[in-house]
Structure 1
């Protein structure tokens, strides 16, 4: 039986740019950055500080795939499914993201279940940052 999700892949155009964005602007921690053989692609993962058992895999399709497979995966950059992230202080996170130059599509809004905002990574993929009501 499936027990849990451990990794979600985000397609990126540039390994170093993506790693710098997720660690520098979003505050994720680098968990892994390893070459998969000489001249091969890199296995790069980052994790939210509060959830070290979950990793985002930053995968560059141009280095991992060939031909049509690379083209199909590359077309998904900036169009991937929205990833939902948890916040314990959405106002501070909003200011931090804004100050870091992160594109905010939808600022903090009040909802029946809590508050959220929507932002984009450097390639246009969307993320929903949510803070649930206490209790």
Structure 2
């Protein structure tokens, strides 16, 4: 048997992403490790309070040898359009969480709306990643 441990979002600036996800969204740092032997590669993860077994990796867009410059630019372009990554967060009260995050400075691109599966809202992080906030109804689609 296996479980999901991490999911990854590309970010333009790890410090900016860390500030956004901890100060505005209210997540906790799970790991922040720099490996000098790997060219100062930084492993940075966050997750919601009370959910330490699954983390979001806030991954800087790498250069060579992992990505050539043209591919790195394509990733940046897709991020700017909000299609390079998405995270779905669930909440028991979408309206209350929307107000709380808005009060912390999160700018929503979609306010809470009733959908067939529940109440849904969305915002984007500073790198353009799309985050959905969902209060599921009984159907739990």
TM-score class, shorter-chain normalisation, is 0.7 to 0.9
SS in structure 1 at match of 2:17: helix
Q: Give the paired residue count.
A: 132
Residue 45 of structure 1 is matched in structure 2 by 45
**Would you say 1:115 and 2:114 are equivalent positions?**
no
CA distance in 2 between partners of 1:108 and 1:65 (Å) = 38
Residue 54 of structure 1 is matched in structure 2 by 54
CA root-mean-square deviation: 2.0
Q: Which runs of 5+ in 2 are unaligned?
A: none
Question: Is the 1:11–1:76 contact (alpha carbons within 8 Å) kept by the matching residues of 2?
Answer: no
Instruction: Name the TM-score, length of structure 1 as normaliser.
Output: 0.85
Choose which of 72, 76, 93 in structure 2 pairs with 1:74: 76
Question: Is the 2:10–2:85 contact (alpha carbons within 8 Å) kept by the matching residues of 1?
Answer: no
Q: Which runs of 5+ in 1 are unaligned?
A: none
Q: CA deviation at 1:134?
A: 5.1
After the TM superposition, which segments of 4 or more aligned residues of structure 1 sit over 4 Å from their partners? none
Which piece of structure 1 moves more, 26-35 or 125-134? Answer: 125-134
CA distance in 2 between partners of 1:130 and 1:50 (Å) = 18
Question: Is the 1:28–1:49 contact (alpha carbons within 8 Å) kept by the matching residues of 2?
Answer: yes
Question: Is the 2:33–2:42 contact (alpha carbons within 8 Å) kept by the matching residues of 1?
Answer: yes
Q: 1:4 to 1:76 in 2, by over 3 A?
A: farther
